[in-house]
Chains A and B, each alone.
Chain A
Amino acid sequence: MNPDDRVKALLMSEQALGRTLDRMAQQILEGVAPSDDPSATHALVGMQTRGVHLARRLQQRIAAQEQVSLPLGVLDVTMYRDDVRLRMASPQIRTTRIPFDVSGRHLVLVDDVVFTGRTARAALDALMDRGRPASVRFLAIIDRGHRELPIAADIVGRHVPTLPGEEVRVRVREVDDREGVWLVETSRPR
């Protein structure tokens, strides 16, 4: 948690986040025809940074629940963001590694929070530059509202309408000192 964050509510405990990911793992493969091998037709794409870890959790859950190993890609959308020149400095470009051909695949784009929709738009542009997926679904743990573009998440863990000045922090053990989802109030300028 950032030093200037004031915690207003715990939205999901570690256990609740785990249950949410269990449900989402089932939703990802719900519509797959029995004759299809999802490992050949589907793939997960985790968005840097926490989306990558969440996508890995979903991959592990799908493997445990369905005995299917979905390919996993890592996507950083910094190069496609529309606000690079509006910031004080260029955002750090992180790794992108998509070790499969996206063309013809059903992709599930995984992020922790959907907010304005601009990051998702950038992600769609980034994916389209790599090929022509059969479909792209968007999965977010939290939908906090305040959309600026007509983008909706297909698979949502929880809708949390937020007020100006409030933010949602999804934390995972791989990068943070705790795990769960918090609603915080921050004075930090965005």
Chain B
Amino acid sequence: MAAASEDAPARLPHRHLLDLSAYSADDIRLILDTADEFRAVLERPIRSVPTLQGVTVASLFFEPSTRTKLSFGLAAGRLSAETISFSKSGSSVSKGETLKDTARNIEAMKSDMAILRHSSPGAPHLLARTTNSVIINAGDGAHAHPTQALLDALTMRTRIGPLGDLNVSIIGDITHSRVARSNIRLLTTMGASVTVCGPRTMLPYGLDAMGVRVVDRLAPALEAADVVMALRIQLERQDEGLFPSLREYHARYGLTLEHLARYPALRIMHPGPVNRGVELADAVVDHERAIILDQVTNGVAVRMAVLYLLAPTSN
């Protein structure tokens, strides 16, 4: 390390984490390196540090999400931040009104940072424009889920190898997946080779422009892949006619023990919760080459890193 970087500030040139489109490879590397150190904290008997004492983090979840909410809450708590929680109150309010109300509540609660999960794409961007808080997107519609992509990247880097060397296949409903979109953005930025695979009804136009290979059969997606990320099938989409039946989806795109046997280096990831027997065969979920629980653990470390790096400073 050079002398000049003795106390180098770790500055992300961003005030918010709305999506990964403006985040460079260096920015992503800084987050992952910082997360590595926070993961070591999670493995100690005392799993908290006083780093964000005095910082208030608001959780604004307008959509149900058990694990992302728990993960962010745990991350803030491990950093000794104060947390407050704001939930959507029942009845149907129009999108604009809801977000305006949210913005007012954030300001009234004097929070420094807000974590937003919302069904409308762009909701975090609107809050970033209308409040003084640092906004972290915890999933907005089918648009982006940046911390999920970051925790996936940390898991791949830790368990498999440098991201730039990896062949990653993403299987499932790409059209409706914010996880896929954020992962494609991150992985291509880091130099990984990405293949997306799913029924043609679930592959949006314009994917080629994102620098990925597109296939509609499973076999070419598995050949040469180091890791396969199976996406959750939203069961309510069965009625939309995107695929004939869950059984047929599993037959064509579900990962089974036979696939693991045929491709001995393949690792399996899933953003959870898994529909057992649909995206992944039951035995695959519990297989030692499924690194799904690593993703969950890394989620806390990545969110600690994001909160730390984006926490506002006094001057």
> Contact residues of A with B, CB < 8 Å?
1-2, 49, 76, 78-80, 84-97, 125, 129-131, 171, 175-177
Selected from A129, A131, A175, the residue in CB contact (under 8 A) with B2 is A175
Q: CA A129 – CA B50 in complex, angstroms? A: 11
Selected from B4, B11, B51, the residue in CB contact (under 8 A) with A89 is B11
B42 — which chain A residues lie within 8 A by C-beta? Answer: none
A93 — which chain B residues lie within 8 A by C-beta? Answer: 10, 33-34, 37-38, 308
Any A CB within 8 A of the CB of B242: no
With contacts A91-B9, A94-B37 taken as known, whether A175 is within 8 angstroms of B314 at the C-beta atoms is no
Any A CB within 8 A of the CB of B94: no
List 12 additional A-B contacts (Cβ < 8 Å) besides A89-B10, A94-B37. Answer: A80-B51, A85-B311, A86-B315, A90-B9, A91-B7, A92-B5, A92-B9, A93-B33, A93-B37, A171-B3, A175-B3, A176-B3
Question: Chain A residue with minimal CB distance to B36?
Answer: A95
Q: In the assembled complex, how far is the CB of residue B56 from the closest CB belonging to chain A, in whole angstroms?
A: 12
Chain B 29-50 residues near chain A, CB threshold 8 A: 33-34, 37-38, 40-41, 44-46, 49-50
Q: CA A88 – CA B7 in complex, angstroms? A: 12
Cross-chain contact A79 with B10 (CB below 8 angstroms): no
Q: CA A129 – CA B312 in complex, angstroms? A: 26
A88 — which chain B residues lie within 8 A by C-beta? Answer: 9, 11, 313, 315
Question: Chain B residue with minimal CB distance to A178?
Answer: B3
With contacts A85-B313, A86-B315 taken as known, whether A2 is within 8 angstroms of B3 at the C-beta atoms is yes
A78 — which chain B residues lie within 8 A by C-beta? Answer: 51
B9 — which chain A residues lie within 8 A by C-beta? Answer: 87-92
Cross-chain contact B315 with A175 (CB below 8 angstroms): no
Q: In the assembled complex, how far is the CB of residue A124 from the closest CB belonging to chain B, in whole angstroms?
A: 13
A94 — which chain B residues lie within 8 A by C-beta? Answer: 37
Q: CA A113 – CA B314 in complex, angstroms? A: 27
Selected from B3, B49, B55, the residue in CB contact (under 8 A) with A80 is B49
Q: CA A1 – CA B2 in complex, angstroms? A: 10
Cross-chain contact B44 with A89 (CB below 8 angstroms): no
Chain B: residues with Cβ within 8 Å of the partner, total of 33
B55 — which chain A residues lie within 8 A by C-beta? Answer: 85
Selected from B34, B38, B54, the residue in CB contact (under 8 A) with A85 is B54
B50 — which chain A residues lie within 8 A by C-beta? Answer: 79-80, 125
Any A CB within 8 A of the CB of B6: yes
List 6 A-B residue pairs with CB atoms under 8 Å apart, sorted by A's residue number.
A79-B37, A79-B49, A80-B50, A92-B7, A94-B37, A129-B44
1/0 per residue, CB under 8 A from A, across B85-127: the answer is 0000000000000000000000000000000000000000000
Q: In the assembled complex, how far is the CB of residue B261 from the closest CB belonging to chain A, in whole angstroms?
A: 38
Any A CB within 8 A of the CB of B293: no
Q: CA A91 – CA B30 in complex, angstroms? A: 12
Q: In the assembled complex, how far is the CB of residue A98 from the closest CB belonging to chain B, in whole angstroms?
A: 10
Any A CB within 8 A of the CB of B8: yes
Q: In the assembled complex, how far is the CB of residue B295 from the closest CB belonging to chain A, in whole angstroms?
A: 22
Cross-chain contact A87 with B41 (CB below 8 angstroms): no
Q: CA A91 – CA B309 in complex, angstroms? A: 9
Q: In the assembled complex, how far is the CB of residue A131 from the closest CB belonging to chain B, in whole angstroms?
A: 8
1/0 per residue, CB under 8 A from A, across B45-73: the answer is 11001111011000000000000000000
Cross-chain contact A90 with B308 (CB below 8 angstroms): yes
Q: CA A87 – CA B312 in complex, angstroms? A: 9
Question: Chain B residue with minimal CB distance to A50?
Answer: B6
Q: CA A91 – CA B50 in complex, angstroms? A: 14
Cross-chain contact B314 with A85 (CB below 8 angstroms): yes
Question: Chain A residue with minimal CB distance to B10?
Answer: A92
Cross-chain contact B1 with A130 (CB below 8 angstroms): no
Question: Chain B residue with minimal CB distance to A169?
Answer: B3
A85 — which chain B residues lie within 8 A by C-beta? Answer: 54-55, 311-314
Selected from A79, A84, A125, A171, the residue in CB contact (under 8 A) with B311 is A84
With contacts A1-B3, A2-B4, A89-B11 taken as known, whether A95 is within 8 angstroms of B37 at the C-beta atoms is yes
Q: CA A87 – CA B313 in complex, angstroms? A: 6
Q: CA A130 – CA B312 in complex, angstroms? A: 28
B38 — which chain A residues lie within 8 A by C-beta? Answer: 93
A176 — which chain B residues lie within 8 A by C-beta? Answer: 3
